[in-house]
């Protein structure tokens, strides 16, 4: 079997999710190539080449691929598809835009966000906001998969695989990049972080979120997450929303502060190893699910916790 | 400028319902479940209706591919402001790839220039039909929209991404998928519900399209995820810290003082 993994990257860095997708690819079995498309992406390709188990990195370094236009990258994948049995990518925002487009062009039914590999054609995925596991067998000759990175471990580093330059494809530009309102942060990436501290509506304001959640996250070297209510209210950016329609995380430790635990939020964090919930309502759904539930007012408990760590 | 907009809508189990699985491994028990329009589709529809209200579109067609009961969802769409509705009736569960292909055929017939649709449906959580449709049509796409401004045959779309808010210009025709923060959908008013009864709702049989909708994914099993073990109520912050330290979850040396 031959497998092509589309790399995700941002700010000149390879996304941590890619080496987890390589693990999923290894479970499927076969020669694993990685495709890096972007502008000035040589360093990203070099980083991808050092993921253990990678056979070769294809690098399409061209202004046309800057900002990752979904249409052009799907075209590139389709042009490479004849050489591969499986095309896969992390189920981040890029993979979710590019892979289904390529799948349709290849007349393949994508298997979205797999969480386990049961065999070369058999995969598990979560449906109904994580409340059921569906096992499917993909019957198309070629497979297109997106992978929920939080469900696989990092493949680790190995000797550098060769990097091969790829000529860009001509073709119409469809969507074009205008701007990015990026959220810069020195904290670990949410999807792959070991510890996540999340805040909900109870934080009351952007200032409340900044004063209670961020210092605790800093103390723990944790990524910051949030409920939809906290994002809707503007306490924090959209890119940290955890849940069915946000990011899916499975850290060793998830600390939910002032979050009720709606089905859609649980969908994004239920597979965390240990869940701590701090809530003044002992009956909140998240308190039933938590490994450690602290019934307390977050405005008192969080400063105390941060101070004592 | 006047656009023809198509909004695909799906009937799903209502978002707040905690599903129950059938004992035969076939999936959730739909028999008594409360059904509703997929929330993301409702947001896409609201956006389409607003574009028409701003004079930027002159026709909004809501399309559902599903059982006869989806007529109810389409009536809701009409009450929310769609001009017309089309049900492609089938009792079978159709995969996104075939849904996208049927939608592409309808778009070709209708000569629509814009498709506004939900980024995912909350039942199967696939997150793929929009880009698939754009791929079939060879159109531009923008996903997870939290803002759309249409002018001069271009849509300027703000997309929610893992890296923040990305703004794209997409030439029309295009497929745009809606995220939760795009708008706050209205409720259907009583007069609009009455009016919706008189709006055209066409039903066509799936067979009439001559599209192969045989599933490509064989569904082996649907089962419950593993239950989490019941947890522990801790009384104090010190107690919490001690337990996290015991479990090696917080750095050694961090101790309650
Ligand atoms: C289609 C759809 C998709 C969705 N997707 C997502 C998603 O991806 N992610 C997501 O998170 N949500 C999502 N939601 C929204 C979800 O249903 C909930 O509305 C949301 O998660 C609630 O956020 P919350 O827990 O912060 O707020 P609330 O539900 O209001 O909970 C606040 C909690 O804080 C507690 N509290 C209040 N004050 C204090 C205090 N001083 N000290 C301690 N505790 C306090 C309360 O007891 C309560 O439990 C989605 C909804 C829909 C319909």
Same domain for A29 and A133? yes
Residues A90 and A237 in one domain: no
Residue nearest to atom 40 of ligand 1 (CA): A297
Express each pLDDT in A151-204 by its tens digit.
999 999 999 999 999 999 998 889 999 999 987 778 999 999 999 999 999 999
- Nearest chain B residue to A108, by CA: B97
**Which pLDDT score is estimated for A203?**
98
Q: Do A239 and A133 belong together in one domain?
A: no
- A112-128 mean pLDDT: 97
Q: Is the CB of A279 under 6 A from ligand 1?
A: yes
Interface test with A, best of B107, B137, B248, B249 (most A CBs within 10 A): B249
Measured between alpha carbons, how far is B160 from B176 in angstroms, rounded to an integer?
A: 12
* Atom number, ligand 1, closest to the C-alpha of residue A229: 23
Q: Do B237 and A274 touch (CB under 8 A)?
A: no
Q: Are A218 and A224 in contact (CB under 8 A)?
A: no
Give the pLDDT of residue B257: 41
Q: Same domain for A6 and A124?
A: yes
CB contact (8 A) between residue A126 and residue B161:
no
ipTM: 0.96
Cβ neighbours of residue A205 under 8 Å, at least 6 residues apart? A233, A235
Considering the domain architecture, whether residues A134 and A200 belong to the same structural domain is answered as: no
Q: Please check whether residues A157 and A279 belong to one and the same domain.
A: no
Chain B residues touching residue A101 (CB < 8 angstroms): 131-132, 134-135, 141
Min Cα separation B174/chain A (Å):
9
Give residue A35's pLDDT band: very low, low, confident or very high (50, 70, 90): very high
Query: How do the pLDDT tens digits run along chain B, 257 residues long?
Result: 689 999 999 999 999 998 999 988 888 988 889 999 999 999 999 999 999 999 999 999 999 999 999 999 999 999 999 999 999 999 999 999 999 999 999 999 999 999 999 999 999 999 999 999 999 999 999 999 999 999 989 999 999 999 999 999 999 999 999 999 999 999 999 999 999 999 999 999 999 999 999 999 999 999 999 888 889 999 999 999 999 999 999 876 644 44
Which of A92, A179, A195 shows the shortest C-beta gap to B162?
A92
- Asked if residue A7 and residue A93 are part of one domain, the reply reads yes
Kindly list the structural domains of chain B, giving each domain's residue range(s) and its CATH number in brackets, ordered by start: 3-209 (3.40.50.620)
| pTM exceeds 0.90 for this model | yes
The CB of A288 under 6 Å from ligand 1? The reply is: no
User: In this model, does residue A65 exceed pLDDT 50?
Assistant: yes
What's the whole-number average pLDDT of chain A?
A: 97
Structure tokens at A29: 């079995």
Quote the pLDDT of residue A182: 86
Residue among A198, A202, A236 to mutate when testing ligand 1 (max atoms within 8 A of CB): A202
So what's the pLDDT on residue B1?
60
A286 lines ligand 1 (CB under 6 A): no
A25 shares a domain with A158: yes
Quick one: A41 and A141 in the same domain?
yes
Chain B interface disruption, residue of A292, A302, A306, A307, most B CBs within 10 A: A292
Per-residue pLDDT, A186 = 84
pLDDT of residue A55 exceeding 80, the answer is yes
Predicted local distance difference test score (pLDDT) of residue B253: 60
Q: Are strands A176-182 and B164-171 parallel, antiparallel or unpaired?
A: antiparallel
A53 falls within a domain: yes
Within-domain flag for A44:
yes
State percent of chain B over pLDDT 90.
89
Structural domain span for residue A297: 195-308
Query: Domain with A161 in it: what CATH number?
Result: 3.40.50.620
Nearest to A304 among B133, B139, B237 (CB): B237
- Give strand ranges (E) for chain A: 2-6, 9-10, 13-14, 31-38, 54-61, 86-90, 111-117, 122-127, 132-138, 143-147, 163-165, 176-182, 195-199, 223-226, 253-257, 274-279, 292-295
How many domains is chain A built from? Answer: 2
Answer whether A180 sits within 8 Å of B254, measured CB to CB.
no
């Amino acid at each position: 079997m031959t497998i092509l993994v589309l790399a995700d990257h941002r700010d000149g860095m390879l996304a941590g999710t890619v080496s987890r997708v390589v693990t999923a690819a290894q479970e499927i079995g076969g020669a694993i190539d990685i495709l890096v498309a972007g502008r000035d992406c040589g360093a990203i390709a070099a980083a991808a080449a050092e993921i253990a188990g990678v056979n070769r990195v294809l690098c399409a370094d061209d202004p046309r691929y800057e900002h990752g236009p979904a249409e052009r990258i799907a075209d590139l994948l389709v042009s490479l598809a004849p050489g591969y049995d499986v095309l896969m990518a992390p189920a981040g925002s890029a993979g979710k835009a590019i892979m289904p487009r390529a799948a349709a062009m290849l007349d393949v039914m994508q298997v979205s966000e797999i969480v386990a590999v049961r065999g070369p054609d058999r995969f598990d995925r979560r449906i109904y906001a994580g409340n059921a596991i569906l096992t499917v067998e993909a019957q198309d000759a070629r497979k297109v998969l997106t992978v929920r990175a939080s469900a696989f471990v990092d493949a680790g580093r190995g000797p550098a695989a060769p990097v091969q330059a790829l000529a860009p494809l001509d073709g119409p530009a469809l969507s074009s990049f205008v701007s990015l309102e990026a959220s810069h942060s020195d904290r670990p990436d949410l999807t792959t972080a070991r510890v996540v501290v999340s805040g909900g509506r109870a934080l009351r304001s952007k200032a409340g979120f900044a004063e209670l959640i961020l210092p605790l996250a800093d103390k723990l070297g944790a990524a910051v997450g949030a409920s939809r209510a906290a994002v809707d209210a503007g306490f924090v950016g959209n890119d940290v929303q955890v849940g069915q329609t946000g990011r899916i995380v499975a850290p060793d430790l998830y600390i939910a502060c002032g979050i009720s635990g709606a089905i859609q939020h649980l969908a994004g964090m239920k597979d965390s190893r240990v869940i701590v919930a701090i809530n003044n309502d002992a009956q909140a759904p998240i308190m039933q699910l938590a490994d450690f539930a602290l019934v307390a007012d977050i405005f008192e408990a969080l400063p105390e916790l941060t101070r004592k760590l | 400028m006047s656009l023809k907009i198509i909004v695909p809508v799906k009937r799903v189990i209502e978002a707040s319902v905690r599903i129950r699985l059938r004992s035969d491994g076939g999936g959730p028990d739909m028999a008594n479940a409360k059904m509703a329009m997929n929330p993301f589709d409702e947001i896409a529809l609201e956006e389409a209706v607003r574009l028409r209200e701003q004079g930027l579109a002159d026709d909004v067609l809501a399309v559902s591919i599903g059982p006869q009961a989806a007529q109810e969802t389409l009536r809701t769409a009409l009450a929310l402001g769609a001009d017309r509705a089309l049900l492609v009736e089938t009792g079978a569960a159709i995969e996104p790839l075939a849904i996208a292909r049927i939608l592409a055929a309808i778009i070709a017939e209708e000569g629509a220039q814009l498709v506004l649709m939900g980024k995912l449906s909350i039942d199967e959580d696939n997150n793929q039909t929009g880009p698939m449709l754009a791929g079939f049509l060879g159109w531009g796409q923008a996903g997870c929209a939290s803002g759309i401004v249409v002018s001069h045959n271009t849509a300027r779309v703000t997309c929610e991404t893992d890296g923040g808010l990305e703004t794209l210009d997409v030439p029309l025709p295009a497929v745009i998928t809606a995220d939760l923060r795009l708008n706050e959908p209205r409720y259907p008013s009583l007069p609009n519900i009455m009016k919706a009864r008189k709006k055209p709702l066409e039903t066509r049989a799936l067979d009439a399209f001559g599209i192969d909708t045989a599933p490509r994914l064989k569904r082996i099993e649907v089962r419950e995820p593993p239950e989490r073990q019941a947890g522990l109520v801790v009384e104090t912050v010190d107690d919490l810290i001690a337990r996290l330290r015991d479990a090696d979850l917080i750095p050694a040396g961090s101790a309650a003082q």
